Structure 1
Amino acid sequence: MDGNDNAAGKCPVMHGGNTETGASVMAWWPKALNLDILHQHDSKTNPLQGFDYRSAVKGLDFAGLKADMKALMTESQEWWPADWGHYGGLMIRLAWHSAGSYRLADGRGGGGTGNIRFAPLNSWPDNASLDKARRLLWPLKKKYGNKVSWADLILLSGTMAYESMGLKTFGFGFGRADIWGPEKDVYWGAEKEWLAPSDERYEDVGNPATMENPLAAVQMGLIYVNPEGVNGNPDPLRTAAQVRETFKRMAMNDEETAALTAGGHTVGKAHGNGNAGLLGAAPEGADIADQGFGWMNHSSRMVGRNTVTSGIEGAWTANPTKWDNGYFDMLFGYDWELTRSPAGAQQWRPVNVRPEDMPADVEDPSIKTMPLMTDADMAMKVDPIYRAICERFRDDHAYFSETFARAWFKLTHRDMGPKVRYIGPDVPAEDLIWQDPVPVGPAVYDVSALKAAILGSGLSVSDMVATAWDSARTYRGSDMRGGANGARIRLAPQKDWAGNEPARLARVLAVLEPLAVAAGASLADVIVLAGNVGVEQAAKAAGFAVTVPFAPGRGDASVEQTDAESFDVLEPLADGFRNWQKEHYVVSPEELLLDRAQLLGLTAAEMTVLLGGLRVMGTNHGGGTQGVFTDRVGALTPDFFVNLTDMGLKWVPTGRNSYDIADRATGAVKYTASRVDLVFGSNSVLRAYAEVYAQDDNREKFVADFVKAWVKVMNNDRFDLVA
């Protein structure tokens, strides 16, 4: 020490630069395009390099794990004791809140990646104490190791909890691989504080349908709705409207919503028997000595009957560790009045409750406690549609149990994709409409002869490539929906989407359909194969002989196998790869391009080479010329990048999303462009990629890289080709 009190000033490392308070090197330029979402789960973050979970889980001792999981339910731990000696309610909440972040609009969220282990989900107010549930599962994760992912383990815990309490569940599928850090691609809302008034998410909070897309939860930090009512103001009818919209955005209809609400509250309890002000920071902000635990109360007892999580306090039924009809007996058997929990939360209590309907204290069975209903529960009673459904459930327990079991299965598997991805002995045999079933297609036919027929069909390179792209681009890696398999581009609603150019699509399909019939191939295969033929012809025109890899076996889905309404959310509102937007949006065209690329599973380099290749092949929507920086349209050349980086050209804005590319010396306009085109020259990272493909020595590399990225997109939904 030299006596200088400012020792930190001489420390040779970044001061704060390695924490979230440290400024990013890009913080000076907040409008710069951020490509991080395309590389968020880079292989360098994965400690299991080369490990294939979907292969490993097939060797799991499924029966042993299920038995151990059920045993864990009643093995109460002193450090976090189980309510009534049973962890079922806690594990159900863990699984539910893991899966319940899914939203239909963009397929993001959900429990398919184990993302609840990381920020922000691990620290949402609605997820308080679920850090404890995950630690209770650690002995099982430790025992079974890499053969079971956290994602599978967490969702299995809820299913086994229900089985241990008497419900006959519908099944379970393993196969969810874990991620190793926060998901940076998920937009959870613009609020800067937890539980900010829900008005910020709505144009009109009185009209739940005006909630900002793609959001589903009503407030930042909640999974569904506020249990105390809209913005914390009890009003069951208003809450019912929010419940309906929220669950609709999570792919549930009214019956499924009522079943999940009732079934979720048939067991377990809410915790608010204490002072919430004594709770410490959430896991991401907790002290290092708390070792990843959050919401710790270091000044008084915080477990058992004194636990505080949501602030709501009490159980819904007299037998909260048993699957029964108690929820409906309570809901319809009493009048209910508003009250407050010891933690100050607003909730409902029964008027003149009978002792036999009061649940026991979680630690002392001789003590009776007051049951509760939340505003969402009361919505099931006062909303006429929900009430009719719940009355049927009340009168037919077997029907309620089956409906709930199916809804729970959907909740915990909705983001897992088609059934072919499910692994294990408990996968239901039934094909469910929300799984987007596709029949197995013919895999043996004369591909060479079919290619020759396509080549002689008279279709242009643009026709073939654009149609294949439009069929495949619907794929969403977020929930494994969409893609070319099934050829749903020929069915409603996809055949009528503006982005698919319905008139041209109908013309192309009219040519391809008879070729498929004659060859004994599926139309889905023929659409992709035609795209490959187009790419091969474009490469040939550029001077390169290539064969685009093709794997037959796609099937053609029927109208009956297609839930048309649920496919509406897959409609592209913009596709920068084809230089098209349905209309102008607040979000910039280049940001919309990133979103599409991320859902397709592309890296920034793959996005770059694909866009440049699609431009020069003339695949712009409607035959537009923006970004077609070539005089050899239809040839797979790197001309897009050559001309983009040509310093003999200048770029002149001509409109909101239009630019002229002119000769610097003469001023003559050579090309036109959009923002999506020019971002590959303006963004420093994308320009670096563009310069690679503009080099004279990388022409062959450009074609090879394009073909590889093209095949990736065409095969995104070919889950039958992977383990």
Structure 2
Amino acid sequence: MDGNSVESKLNDSSRGKCPVLHGSMTATGATVMDWWPSALNLDILHQHDTKTNPLGADYNYREAIKSLDVEALKADLRTCLTESVEWWPGDWGSYLGMMARVAWHAAGSYRLADGRGGAGTGNIRFAPLNSWPDNVNTDKGRRILWPVKKKYGSQVSWADLMVLAGTVAYELAGLKTYGFAFGREDIWHPEKDTYWGAEKEWLAPSDTRYEDVSKPSTMENPLAAVQMGLIYVNPEGVNGTPDPAKTAEQMRETFARMAMNDEETVALTAGGHTIGKCHGAATPDTIGAEPEGAGVEDQGLGWMPKQGRGIGRNVLAGGPEGAWTTNPTKWDMGFFDMLFGHEWELTKSPAGAQQWKPVSIKEEDMPVDVEDASIRVMPLMTDADMALKVDPAYRAICEKFIADPDYFSETFAKAWFKLTHRDMGPKARWIGPYVPSEDLIWQDPIPAGSTSYDVEAVKAKIADSGLSLADMVSTAWNSARTYRGSDMRGGANGARIRLAPQKDWAANEPEVLARVLSVLEPIAAETGASVADVIVLAGNVGVEQAIKAAGFSTPVPFTAGRGDATAEMTDADSFDPMEPAADGFRNFQKQDYVVSPEEMMLDRAQLLGLTAAEMTVLIGGMRAMGANHGGSDHGVFTDRKGALTPDFFDVLTDMTYSWVPVDGGSYEIRDRKSGAVKYTASRVDLVFGSNSILRAYAEVYAQNDNAEKFVKDFVAAWTKVMNADRFDVAA
């Protein structure tokens, strides 16, 4: 090269440096949130962008499943689970325990408070769940299943395959399972914005997520597991200190937050430990990094042995070591025989973990070694197992199961089905030949609604009813906004807004709701429409009135057929955690929280399945129609309240105004010249002008040429929310 070449001009200090920037901002690798940690992070609304899905826009999983040979798939799974793989030998030549654990740990992250977690998306394939300490070696289970996944390809999702493998494992062990449903669709990148706790290290003391660790009910919402990186409770005891009575208290709270009662908790614990074993025969310093921290040569496998075999009797997959029963590949009453047939004392595993061992035990009652059936080894109980014996309520349930083994099997089968299907939503989403015919209350059953009534006649009666536009829009929104895309619960279908507990929620303005329902329910009875349909139609009538007032005539789409649930079809306790603590769309906040109102708005929008743009247009429209909670004027930046105009965005982007904080966390919108107060606002309102991303959307609707676009976009987003739970209607 000549002396004028680029390379010759590089000084010595720059030679060999990477030619690309590390990170999204500068060569330091800092991100926007690193530089400005208090900024509103909208990433949660950008999850699961279609661009991350390699299967393409034309792929439809529900259609793909229809071509699946289900019986052939199950036959291949049975072979897979009973043929030991050379590189990762199965315990006792079987993968029953491993696959039950893969399914359990995929499903066990579910929590009732926000419906997030669970097996419904295959999220255990990605960080952080794939690298949680409690999920150690579930990566090996997925690799063992890979030949089956490879064979059936896109006809079966990873999410479905993992749960089915665990269910087949129990069938092979001898359990009569309750059923299985296909229909879980895989995600393609981590749900990195799901809140799993504030701790900065795995298995940090659980005190950090409790106001008082001795009072399990004080655990921070929406969390369910007691420590970062665990599925439910610490097997060694509270913060690793054995005390079965205290562990029982944590179990009761944690399982309740997973939507399980005491009987289901006992059944799942005992049944989960009837097959398989704990692996704590090696110390943590003898294994490599977790999957997300492992080197490329490990090809996505974590916790690889640094020395020796690291398999069979030398596996590390958690602190404790040993099997719970004499026959760990058989479905039997062996767990109860072992737990109640012996006295127990504390000991430690080879990994140094606290566990319990029998004070005395006959050799023939001990399980055999996983590699050599001529060797008998000591069984174990964890602190959670001992809790079933120590806690009076749990012990009574155990005694009931012991007296009636068939009842235990039936209870476990149903609890396992609930555990692995809880986040799939209503039965209308379930596919396949093994879907049980029984309707279970945790499925939120809804009877079919009528489609034979005259929709226009119903709309006319609503329009003549005397209800205000705000009443109609707010009630429809309140009914529909309960929908959660996390577990497909809630929504307008079923009209559960008229039942306990929803009818009494502060966010639903009980007195206003009762008045509106007293008008809409007679219309439903008179016309043959469901109350659910009439509530949504009333909202549509209000929106159409607002559109007309704005000078446009865009119709609001409607699909009939919603049904009306009854109190008997409603598990009121499981709906309690769904009460909105805030709803930015109606400028409602029940009380002050550590989390900002605008962050709570994002959480609600993400659960509703909204994009940032859809959230923006809905907020602007709800303000224009005067649909705020309690009739508040915050954010109603218009002199034409009730008309679906983009005035909200006009004011936010108009620099003739200033925004002045006042007491109580609200703001005054003042004329810069006169100082006169023109409007008032909340933080939720002003964030659409202050956040650079949201302001970009706001500016689109504030443009003079986009008033009609605003109406059309609002109608599309509104209809999306109203139909979010219509799994019986093709999208």
For normalisation by structure 1, the TM-score amounts to 0.99
Q: Secondary structure at the match of 2:705?
A: helix
2:25 and 2:691 map into 1 onto residues whose CA distance is 25
Determine if the alignment matches structure 1 residue 353 to structure 2 residue 366. Answer: no
Q: How does 1:464-613 map to 2 (within 5 A)?
A: 464-613=472-621
After the TM superposition, which of the residue ranges 256-265 and 34-43 deviates more from structure 2?
A: 34-43
In structure 2, what is the equivalent of residue 436 of structure 1? Answer: 444
Q: Contact 2:278–2:323 at 8 Å: present in 1 too?
A: yes
In structure 1, what is the equivalent of residue 64 of structure 2? Answer: 56
Q: Which amino acid aligns with 1:235?
A: D
After the TM superposition, which of the residue ranges 546-555 and 176-185 deviates more from structure 2?
A: 176-185
1:8 and 1:81 map into 2 onto residues whose CA distance is 49
Q: Which amino acid aligns with 2:314?
A: N
Identity of aligned residues (%): 74
Q: Secondary structure at the match of 1:704?
A: helix
In structure 1, what is the equivalent of residue 305 of structure 2? Answer: 297
Q: Contact 2:62–2:183 at 8 Å: present in 1 too?
A: yes
2:334 and 2:51 map into 1 onto residues whose CA distance is 50
1:73-113 Cα deviation digits (max 9, x unpaired): 11100100000011000000000000000000010000100
Inter-CA distance 332–175: structure 2 relative to 1 (3 Å threshold): same
Q: Cα distance, 1:298 vs. partner?
A: 2.8
2:343 and 2:659 map into 1 onto residues whose CA distance is 71
1:502-561 Cα deviation digits (max 9, x unpaired): 111111111111111111000000000110011001000000002100000000001100
Inter-CA distance 269–21: structure 2 relative to 1 (3 Å threshold): farther
1:566 and 1:638 map into 2 onto residues whose CA distance is 39
Q: Among 641, 644, 659, which residue is 1:633 paired with? A: 641
Determine if the alignment matches structure 1 residue 316 to structure 2 residue 324. Answer: yes
Q: Secondary structure at the match of 1:719?
A: coil
After the TM superposition, which of the residue ranges 350-359 and 597-606 deviates more from structure 2?
A: 350-359
Determine if the alignment matches structure 1 residue 307 to structure 2 residue 315. Answer: yes
In structure 2, what is the equivalent of residue 703 of structure 1? Answer: 711
Q: Cα distance, 1:18 vs. partner?
A: 10
Q: Among 410, 413, 422, which residue is 1:414 paired with? A: 422
Determine if the alignment matches structure 1 residue 29 to structure 2 residue 36. Answer: yes
In structure 2, what is the equivalent of residue 134 of structure 1? Answer: 142
2:229 and 2:294 map into 1 onto residues whose CA distance is 17
Q: Cα distance, 1:603 vs. partner?
A: 0.2
Q: Contact 2:277–2:321 at 8 Å: present in 1 too?
A: yes
1:136 and 1:201 map into 2 onto residues whose CA distance is 36
2:457 and 2:178 map into 1 onto residues whose CA distance is 46
In structure 2, what is the equivalent of residue 167 of structure 1? Answer: 175
In structure 2, what is the equivalent of residue 237 of structure 1? Answer: 245
In structure 1, what is the equivalent of residue 52 of structure 2? Answer: 45
In structure 1, what is the equivalent of residue 188 of structure 2? Answer: 180
2:618 and 2:602 map into 1 onto residues whose CA distance is 13
1:131-189 Cα deviation digits (max 9, x unpaired): 00000010111000001000000111110000011000000000010001110331000
Q: Contact 2:347–2:354 at 8 Å: present in 1 too?
A: yes
Inter-CA distance 16–712: structure 2 relative to 1 (3 Å threshold): closer
2:360 and 2:242 map into 1 onto residues whose CA distance is 21
List gaps (5 residues or longer) in structure 1.
Answer: none
Q: Which amino acid aligns with 1:527?
A: I
Inter-CA distance 19–361: structure 2 relative to 1 (3 Å threshold): farther
Q: Contact 2:357–2:378 at 8 Å: present in 1 too?
A: yes
Q: Which amino acid aligns with 1:24?
A: T
Q: Secondary structure at the match of 2:526?
A: helix
Q: Secondary structure at the match of 2:679?
A: strand
Q: How does 1:207-222 map to 2 (within 5 A)?
A: 207-222=215-230
Q: Among 119, 124, 138, which residue is 2:127 paired with? A: 119
Q: Cα distance, 1:343 vs. partner?
A: 1.1
2:471 and 2:284 map into 1 onto residues whose CA distance is 62
Determine if the alignment matches structure 1 residue 12 to structure 2 residue 12. Answer: no
1:646 and 1:79 map into 2 onto residues whose CA distance is 67
Inter-CA distance 26–194: structure 2 relative to 1 (3 Å threshold): closer
Q: Cα distance, 1:460 vs. partner?
A: 1.1
Aligned length: 723
Q: Secondary structure at the match of 1:178?
A: coil
Q: Cα distance, 1:352 vs. partner?
A: 1.3
Q: Which amino acid aligns with 2:31?
A: S
Q: Contact 2:662–2:668 at 8 Å: present in 1 too?
A: yes
Q: Which amino acid aligns with 1:518?
A: E
1:668-723 Cα deviation digits (max 9, x unpaired): 11100000000000000000000000011000000000000000000000000137
Q: Cα distance, 1:345 vs. partner?
A: 0.8
Q: Among 377, 386, 389, which residue is 1:369 paired with? A: 377
List gaps (5 residues or longer) in structure 2.
Answer: 1-6
1:370 and 1:623 map into 2 onto residues whose CA distance is 68
Q: Secondary structure at the match of 2:678?
A: strand
Q: Which amino acid aligns with 1:249?
A: R
- What is the CA RMSD across the aligned residues, in angstroms? 1.4
Q: How does 1:641-720 map to 2 (within 5 A)?
A: 641-720=649-728
1:218-246 Cα deviation digits (max 9, x unpaired): 11000011101111111100111011111
In structure 1, what is the equivalent of residue 3 of structure 2? Answer: none
1:258 and 1:275 map into 2 onto residues whose CA distance is 30
After the TM superposition, which of the residue ranges 283-292 and 5-14 deviates more from structure 2?
A: 5-14
In structure 1, what is the equivalent of residue 4 of structure 2? Answer: none
Q: Among 225, 232, 240, which residue is 1:224 paired with? A: 232
Q: Cα distance, 1:656 vs. partner?
A: 3.8
